Amino acid sequence: MLYVKTLILPTSPWVILRGRPSEASGQELNGRVIIRLVRSLKVKRVTIAFKPIESNKFMLWKSQDIVTSRQNPIIKELFLTNDTYSGYSVWNPNENDTHEFPFSFAIPGHIHESVSTEFGQIGYELKVTIHTCGFGINTWTQSLPIPVYRVPKEGSSWDFALADSLRMRAEWLGAVELEVLSDSVSVTAKSKINVRAVIRPLQKNEMLVDIGLRLYERTKVKSSLDRFGDPIKSERLICQSHMRTDDPEGELNVLPLRHEYCFDLDLCIPQAFSDIQYDTDTSHLSIKHELVFTATVLDKSQNPHYLRISSPIVIVSQNALGITISELPIYSRSSLDQLLLSNMDDKCEFSPSYPEAPAPPTYTKLQII
C-alpha cells in the first residue's frame, strides 16, 4: 500500500475448533491492528473482517451444505469518524505515533476447516479496510490468512482413535507372512512415519527382491457428480520409499528367505495445505490417507509376485495430538512497533513467525474447464 502501512497482529496465528461441527463451541480470535501513515489521509472509517478467501475453483461450492458451513464475513468497526459535518477525520503522519485498534471475533464452531484441493479451497483471512475520501484510491486493504483447524475433543472416541497403534498383517499362500508395525495411526505434517516391516518365510525356497512404503491421499467431493453419476474422486501419491534387499552373505541381488527378517522404513510427511491435506470427513467432502507396504517375492520357479498390504492412516495437526507448538505471545504496545513499521516496504505484508506452525494455504485463481 503506497500511503498506508498496516500490521495485523492476532494473538494466535490460527483458529482451533474442538469437536465435530455439531458439537464444537465457538473460539475467540483477538489481536490488534496498527496503522501508520506516510502522508495525510481523510479517513471515514476503518473496519476489520474475518472472511472466506475467494477462489475460482468452485466445485466445492456447488453443495448447499458447503455454502452454509462456510462462514459469512464477520465485520467489526475499528474506527468511525465523529465529524458529522465533513464526514471524515484527517489523519496526519507522525513518526512518533501510530493508530492502534484492538479487535475480537467470536468464531462459530460449525464452520468448515481449511482445506486446499484440486477441486476447490476453503480458507479464511483477516482483512483490514480503510475507507477514505478524496481523489484517486478511496479504499486501502491489508489481509492476513488465518487457517482453521478442527481437532477432537479431549476424551472423545475420535481422540482415543488417534492414540491407537498401527499393525498390518497378511499371509500369502501359506508361503510368506508380512507384518508392519508403527507406534500410531496418526501423524502430523512435516514429520516422519516410522514403521518396522517383518518378513516371515513359512516355506523354503522363497526369495525377497525389494520392499517399499507409500502414502496415498484420496479426495472425494460427495456433493459433485461426474458424468456417470458418481461422486468426483481423485487419488495421488504423496511420498514413497523403496529398498532393495540384496543378500548380505553372497553375490545375489535377491534375499533368500531362510529366516525372519526385519526392516525399518520411514516416510517424510510434507508441508500441510500445499503438499498434503489434513484428514476430514463431512457430508460433502472426504479426505483420507492410506499407508501401503509392498514386497516383491520370487517363488521357487523364479516367478515374481507383487504383495501389497495397506491400512488407513490419519494426518492431523499438531494440536490434535496435544503437542505444544510454542508459547503464543500476547502483544502489547511497544516502541518496537514503530521500528517494525519504519522498516516496512510500501507493499510489505506482515505475518507473525511461529517456528512449527504449518503455513496457511495459498489460493491461486485457476479456471476449471
Query: So what's the pLDDT on residue 70?
Result: 54
pTM: 0.77
Handedness of CA 330, 333, 338, 339 (dihedral sign): negative
What local confidence, expressed as pLDDT, does residue 351 receive?
Answer: 40
Task: Tell me how far apart the 2 most distant CA atoms of the chain are, in Å.
Answer: 96
> What pLDDT does 350 receive?
38
Which CA distances in Å does 59 have to 47, 305, 360? 31, 41, 21
DSSP, residue by residue, 320-335: GGT------------T
Which pLDDT belongs to residue 55? 62
CA distance 109 to 24: 5
- Is residue 358 within 8 A of residue 272, CB to CB? The reply is yes
Alpha carbon separation from 318 to 41, 111, 340 (Å, rounded): 44, 20, 30
Inter-residue contact 317 to 18 (CB < 8 Å): no
Dihedral sign, Cα of residue 156, residue 328, residue 15, residue 23 = positive
* pLDDT (0 to 100) of residue 57: 53
Q: Are 278 and 149 in contact (CB under 8 A)?
A: yes
Cell of 329: 505471545
pLDDT of residue 274: 85
Per-residue pLDDT of the chain in tens (369 residues, 90 and over written 9): 567 889 999 999 999 999 888 888 889 999 999 998 888 888 899 999 999 886 655 555 454 444 444 557 889 999 888 876 778 888 888 766 688 999 999 999 988 889 888 887 888 999 999 998 876 668 888 999 999 999 888 878 888 888 889 999 999 999 999 999 999 999 998 899 999 999 999 988 899 999 999 999 999 988 777 788 888 899 999 999 999 887 666 556 789 998 999 999 999 999 988 899 999 988 788 999 999 999 999 998 989 999 999 999 999 988 777 654 443 444 444 444 444 444 444 443 434 444 445 555 555 544 433
User: CA 36 → CA 132, 247, 347, distances in Å?
Assistant: 14, 69, 13
The pLDDT score that the predictor gives to residue 335 is 47
Under 8 Å CB-to-CB from 199, ≥6 apart: which residues?
176, 177, 178, 208, 211, 257, 260, 261, 262, 263, 295
